[in-house]
Each structure stands twice: as structure tokens, then as C-alpha cells.
Chain A
């Protein structure tokens, strides 16, 4: 995983709530056995017309948002299916930061495994950010992860909270598994204890 670095990028606006992972990456694209190449199918049902041409109405097709790395969007983003294909598609498309008032739990987790920073802000702050994009489509925001701030083109600053462990892993681009395996002795010890105290949990090969 690539480390997450501070950046100043165009912020795209998609003012929709409850955007589900079925929309982010429709199921007809889930049959691949690789991790890459999902970006071309991001929001496929919304992004393209039946004849394959771009749907001019769709937010991310707005030329002002071309090259955006930041997505500003409505409540409960990423609800529904657990498919990690959703963050794979987002990342592959070129986005690495999503700002909303709330995210669905599994999606939120999945973002961190893929170098994507999901930022939770208050309703009021989100409205302001959206307002600023509407007034000035193509405006850039600066994301400073160590300082936990978003600074808008107009110079407004919004602070955000993030779990310290997740923050550090994003900044270092760390692989969770490697980190966990450093504690393999603890897992061994736990299993030995559990086999004693809950032996029926270990009879599954019956």
C-alpha cells in the first residue's frame, strides 16, 4: 500500500446520500479475480449511458472535476455490500479522499486497507464545503493528514478526527497483516488457552 501524503487536489462534489457499494461498483464487474482495473467501472450505471457514452448529467463527468482526488458526498456513503471492489475502484479511478458526514462501517474499514482516507465532518462543515464547491467548481482543497485538517481554496479550515492507529498506518502505508504477525506469539498463547478453556471450539474437523 502506498503511503498517504498531504496533497492539494480538486474536490469533486456528489451531493447524494446513502450511496451504496452496488452503485460504486455494480455486480457485473465483481467476477474478476484480480484487485486492479476496477476504476473504469466506477459508478458504471450512473456514469455511462446505455450506448456506452458518458452521461453528461453525472457529477464525476463534470469537466471541472477532472483529475479530482477528493470526493465530497452525502451521508452514509458506502452502505450495503461489503465488497472491497468498491474502494479498489475508487482508488483505481484516482480518488484517495472522501469527505462525508458518515460512512457505512465495513466500507470505512476497507478504505484504510487501500490507502483511502475517509473523513467524517459535521453536517454544518459538509454543507460549507459543498457550498464552496458549488460556488467555484474545480476548486482545490488541501488535505493535511498529520495535522488532521482540510483547507479549502477560500482558506477555510476544517479539523477532523481519526483513530491514531489508522492514521499512522495510512501515513506509513503499512500492511496490517505484517503488523499482526509480529504478535504471533500472542496468537499462539491465545489458542493454547482457548483449547483448554473451550475445547469444543476445536473439534471442527470432526
Chain B
């Protein structure tokens, strides 16, 4: 029978299907951070259970860490306890941790690929919904809850129900201005935040294979915002080239064996998906979210919608309440919306290519008066690389702040946050109410769009720059 990539990975990791119970799926790699793991370690301790396979784990500190004054103790005492708890848990169990002093520190989903820790065909989980990022490598990667973190730590397996399969094919060629972020946002706008619920999505088509590995990570990262359990892109030469030589990538003979396996796991020609969606890259303008859900998104050349534009009563209601929260009037041109804050960073858009794209637009400009603009590299590796290329100077010259890595204003747990009513052009992934600070208003955009908004003090159609 012809199989999809998801079905192949699933079958290759099936440990046991006990009668009348959920199947046990083997987990190859487990990623951890400080927010969703402490209660799992506590559970292990309480039950006197051990970590089954320490080397299959990789942990970092990212959510609570400050992006300034990293040499000083963390000011927030509760955050400090969380960070210290993580360090102790990892030390006690022998887990590999890139702590705040490690040159490898950064956001978990940025750090893991940098070290080649995830390969095609693997199963990868983390107590974090954006684990979907690693689907860019053709790995089945998804977020789990803390109880499941404990389950994986002690059994290296998960009880899982098989998902349905969806293929999203994006035809056509990418223009310079249509990034992975715009594809992803427009998909979410199209299918909605619950459109992918119950599915694993495989992204195919020339616009997808045309993406760099970094672009594919951005795309798969946002799979979760469409409700999908995971996103996948078939591994190809770009994937192999990216992995080769990295710390945890297979070496020598193992590399050859791995390579032939990786090539074998792609979806068979003619394999059937439960659902297929066709899109065209030409239809995708640079996207700007206008509401409080990632599906409330529109092309930058359009206007803020009117609740009346929606046929469905639920959506009308959601639109009205989003406009109210966002302080926006229907029919306002997106390019007339003024911003107070710019955030470039997060596991969605905190990689070197994102910083390059933003710097290209920021070069020679000045941050508009009254606007605060910050760049938070996704990791120390990204930061170092950017500094070698002089990108930090480009941003600094343009009046931006150049920070230390971390999740920062993606979820505003570390003290970097919006004040009530402030409006932010953000390269992160969620525009939920209060996500970037209570009362803060988030508009999701690509890095280049964010940089353009910084200089203009409002949204700009970068195609017209």
C-alpha cells in the first residue's frame, strides 16, 4: 500500500498496541524548557522513577530568561526559582542543558536544529506546542503536556492516537516578498485555527520546496496555529546539506545508512491523504494579523474587515470583539495602522535569515519617533553570526535595541512586555489577548514587514518600498 510520510514514521515507531488501549509510540528525541517541565520531574521523584534514556533529551532555558543584564541574577524571584529548579533537575538526572551561561543557549526550537539533534524520520516531542517546528526536517514533531513530559522521561514512549493526514500544496513561485511566514499566516487565515485539528499536515509544492530550511522551520512552527498536531516537509538535498557536519548528525558510515533511510520515508507517489488543500503563491501578499487569533489575518494591501463581512455568526462576534480589543475600526487601511513597538525574534522568526531580511529593510533607516524596536536573536549562535555579519550595527544605527537571546516578547514572561493599549508589529506566532502583556495589541508579520513598520511608524506594503 502507498503510504504518506506520516504513516511511515508512525509505523516505524510503533512499540506496542495493547488490546483496548492507546498505541505506544516510541520517542526518539525529547526537548525540554523550564516552564513545562518542573512538575514532570517532581512526578518522577514522587514515584521514584528514573529517566529512561538521558542522551535522548536536550534542555535549554529560554522562556523566563532576561534579554538584558544576563550577567546579573534574575530579578524576578519566581522566575529565578524556575530557572534554578531546571538546572537542578537536569543536574540530578544527567540531562544535557544549555543553561544561561552556555554559548549554545537560546530558544529550544532554534537551538535544536543548530546542533543537528533532530533528523528526518524521527519522533520528537517537547512540552511546547511549537515543537511542530522540527517537522521542517521531515520529523514527526509535536507538543505535549507536562504529564506526557513525565511519561516520556520515564518510558521514552507516548500513548498516541493516530492522526488524520492533510496535504497542503502551495503551487507557484515565491516572490521576494512572500516569505514562509506569509504562506503560513495565509494558510491559517484560509483554514482557521481549528482547520487542522486532528490532522498532521504535509506541506508540498514548488513554493514549499523552494523554501530554505529556515523558511520551512517557520512554516512548520506555525502548523500548530492551524490546530494541526504537526507539520511536515519531505526531506531533500537542502535538508541533508543542512544537517551534514552538525554535532549530533550521523557521521561516516552512519551518515550513509541514515541518508538512504531518510530518502525512503518520503510520501509514496499516489499515497492518499484524508484531505487536500491547494493554494497558489501568487495569491499570497505580505500578511498582517488584525485580530486576536492568528486566523484573523489579511494582506497588507487590504482593510480591516467589518464583522458584517463574515457569514458565520460566531465569526462576526469574534471579529467585533477582536476589533474592540485591538482598538481598530472596520475598513481602516492596514497601512494606516500606527505601531508603538516592534519585536523581531521568537522561534518563528528569530533565525539568522530572519535577521538578515529585517536588517536589509532597516539599513539606512531610523526607527520612527515614539516607536521602540527590539531585536532578540533566537540563540547565541544566531546572535554571534549576526554580529559577524555586522547586522547588530545596522540595527543599532537605525535606532533599534540589540538584545540577548530568549523567548522575550513572544510571550512576555521575562519582563519584556507591552503596556496596556500599546500596539506591536511582531514576528512571533500568537496575537492572543494579552500575549505580549496585558492589554497589549499584537500584529503578526514577517521580519521584513516588521522592519518596514519600525521606520514608518505604521504598516507598509514592502512590495512598494
Contacts and interface: CB of A to CB of B under 8 A. Distances in A.
Interface SS, B side: loop
A113 to B, nearest CB: 4
A84 B129 contact: no
Contacts of B119: 200-201
Interface stretch (A31-39, A64-72, A135-143): A31-39
Given A83-B35, A84-B146, A30 B42 contact: no
Given A84-B36, A165-B21, A187-B26, A205 B55 contact: yes
Interface in A11-64: 17-18, 20, 22-23, 26-28, 30-35, 45
B432 A23 contact: yes
A203 B248 CA distance: 8
B310 interface: no
B426 interface: no
A177 B433 contact: no
B143 A106 contact: yes
Interface residues of A, number: 60
B20 A203 contact: no
A177 B154 contact: yes
Given A102-B197, A177-B47, A18 B318 contact: yes
Interface residues of B, number: 77
Contact of A200 (B143, B247, B255, B433): B255
Q: Which of B52, B251, B258, B432 has the most CB of A within 10 A?
A: B432
B432 A22 contact: yes
A79 interface: yes
A177 B151 contact: yes
A74 B321 CA distance: 14
Nearest to A36: B39
A81 interface: yes
A180 B24 contact: yes
Interface-centre pick from B129, B144, B247, B251 (highest chain A CB count, 10 A): B129
B419 interface: no
B24 A34 contact: no
A162 B211 CA distance: 40
B35 A204 contact: no
B85 interface: yes
Given A35-B39, A199-B254, 18 more contacts: A18-B193, A27-B411, A76-B193, A76-B194, A82-B145, A83-B35, A106-B144, A110-B145, A165-B20, A180-B151, A187-B16, A187-B156, A187-B157, A190-B15, A200-B254, A200-B258, A201-B28, A201-B119
Interface of A: 17-18, 20, 22-23, 26-28, 30-35, 45, 74-76, 79-85, 87, 102-106, 109-110, 113-114, 163-166, 168, 176-177, 179-181, 183-184, 186-187, 190-191, 194, 198-201, 203-206
28 contacts: A18-B293, A22-B432, A26-B438, A31-B76, A32-B82, A75-B194, A75-B314, A76-B194, A76-B197, A82-B127, A84-B147, A87-B145, A104-B194, A104-B227, A105-B197, A106-B145, A109-B145, A114-B147, A165-B20, A180-B24, A180-B151, A181-B155, A187-B52, A200-B258, A203-B248, A204-B117, A204-B248, A205-B55
